[in-house]
Homo-oligomer: A and B are copies of this chain.
Amino acid sequence: MADKMDYASAGVDIDLEGSAVASLISSLGKSVRQTGTPGAPVDLPGGFGGMIEFGDHLLALATDGVGSKLQIASMLNQWSGVGIDCMAMNVNDLLCVGAEPIAFVDYVAVPKPDPEVHAALGASLAEACRLARVTLAGGETASLPGIVTELDLSGTALGYLKKGEAITGEHLQSGDVLIGLPSSGIHSNGYSLVRRIMEHSGMQYTDTAPFDCNSSTREILRFNKDNDEVSLGEVFLNPTRIYCDPIVDLIKYAQSSESEFGVQDIRGICHVTGGGLSNLLRLHDSLGWEISNPLTPHPEFNWLAESGGVDTWEMYRTFNMGCGMIIAVNHQYADGICAWLQAKMAGIQIIGHVVDNGRKVVHSPLGIEYTHY
């Protein structure tokens, strides 16, 4: 049995990050853009993306990078997934406020440009644009040998929605039903811990994964197709799922006259990123969340927990544990919405419900709970 590991011991100081970001935000003043004019800020409760006014619409921006998952991509020189990761981290945040992503720009910082790497990144971003149904509206490659030692990739996504149709969590009620959408793997969070566990395990990223990766709810993007066996590197680099399909489609269907439910029946959407299940707490100030019928974690999560001696509580607040997005809906239409989503994506199920019993997330089968994001 390994020493017990957690996210902080893997070198990530979440408190320090939080206080740095708080310092930055406290230095910012009010926007000069007046309410009712293009660009005026819109403060909505619980929003993941920043929103501004634009006529009858709101525009939302999200900016994020791939993070230390890139270090595995660099080590293996495998770039086919990271453009998808970068897109996913941004557009999935936009979906949480009910915005439809329409455009994306990428920012790449490298010690030295490499045309082969850039061609692979371009192909990955092109696939990402197809999956997210957005236009790549620009990008920047910066050569910064004094600042970066290997490639950093981030991006910004732009989305829009009609005024009055933002999904904010403010209409959440006790009894609302939680629908879980399966992840494709580890997505783009928790990689400091993944890399630490890999070092500790003595395994190589090129080693065959010591578990069965097959699953009806996700496919592994293979980069070494000559080998029948899936490597640990392929599992860990599997690109983050992009949820535009089915979430944008669900919102459009809810807006249509065919639908018996409306956009207001989609009460909250949560992108399960770093922080795992505790992300749900961001959606409401007082309500709680009970996960009674969770999705099954992919086998790599079990392998990481065992190899790193990571306890269950820590696993569920670091990783998505098989569930990449959670949609809270009016219980009256929950079965219909779930069936509509299941027809679009395998592995979706009702995983729990909203409760009025204090602001906490309870995973009842495992008996763990979270009271802080």
Chain A interface size, as a band, is 35 or more
Which residues on A are within 8 Å of B, measured CB to CB?
Answer: 11-13, 16-17, 19-29, 31-33, 38-41, 49-52, 54-55, 59-65, 67-68, 70-71, 100, 102-103, 105-107, 109-110, 112-123, 125-126, 129-130, 133-152, 154, 156, 158, 160
B-chain residues with CB within 8 Å of residue A158 when the two chains form the complex: 52, 59, 61, 158
Chain A binding surface SS class: mixed
**Shortest Cβ distance from A102 into B: residue:** B39
Could you list 7 examples of A-B contacts with CB < 8 Å?
Answer: A16-B113, A20-B118, A28-B136, A38-B160, A65-B109, A65-B142, A148-B149
Structural contact, A118 and B33, CB atoms closer than 8 A? no
| A25 CB → nearest B CB, Å | 6
Inter-chain contacts of A11 with B (CB < 8 A): 145
- Contact check, A144 vs B68: say whether CB atoms are below 8 A apart: yes
Contacts of A115 in B (CB 8 A): 16, 19-20, 22-23
A63 engages B105 (CB within 8 Å): yes
C-alpha gap A23/B29 in the complex (Å): 41
User: With the chains together, A55 CA to B151 CA distance in Å?
Assistant: 37
List, in ascending order, chain B residues with CB within 8 A of A12's CB. 143
CA distance A105 to B158 in the complex (A): 11
User: Do B28 and A129 touch (CB < 8 A)?
Assistant: yes
Q: For the complex formed, measure the closest distance between the CB of A261 and the CB atoms of chain B, giving whole angstroms.
A: 24
Question: What's the least CB distance linking A303 to chain B, in Å?
Answer: 22
Copy total for this chain = 2
Known: A21-B118, A115-B23, A160-B38. A52 touches B137 (CB 8 A): yes
In angstroms, Cα B144 to Cα A336, docked, is: 43
Closest 9 pairs (CB-CB, A-B): A27-B122, A39-B102, A50-B137, A50-B138, A20-B113, A24-B122, A156-B156, A23-B119, A31-B135
Task: Select the residue from A50, A60, A110, A151 with max chain B CB neighbours within 10 A.
Answer: A50
- Taken together as a complex, chains A and B put the C-alpha atoms of A115 and B133 apart, in Å, by 37
Cα distance A22–B33 when bound, in Å?
Answer: 37
* Contact present for A118 and B61 (CB under 8 Å): no
Minimum C-beta distance from A167 to chain B (A): 17
CA distance A110 to B24 in the complex (A): 14
Q: In the complex, what's the smallest C-beta–C-beta distance from A239 to chain B, in angstroms? A: 16
B residues less than 8 Å from A138 (CB atoms): 49-50, 61-63
Q: Are A140 and B65 in touch, CB under 8 angstroms?
A: yes
- Which residues of chain B are near A129, meaning CB under 8 Å? 28-29, 31-32
Q: Is A63 a contact partner of B139 (Cβ separation < 8 A)? A: yes
A144-B67, A156-B61 known; A102+B135 contact, CB < 8 A: no
Partner of A133, one of B27, B32, B70: B32
Q: Check A103/B50 contact, CB under 8 A, given A26-B119, A29-B130, A31-B129.
A: yes
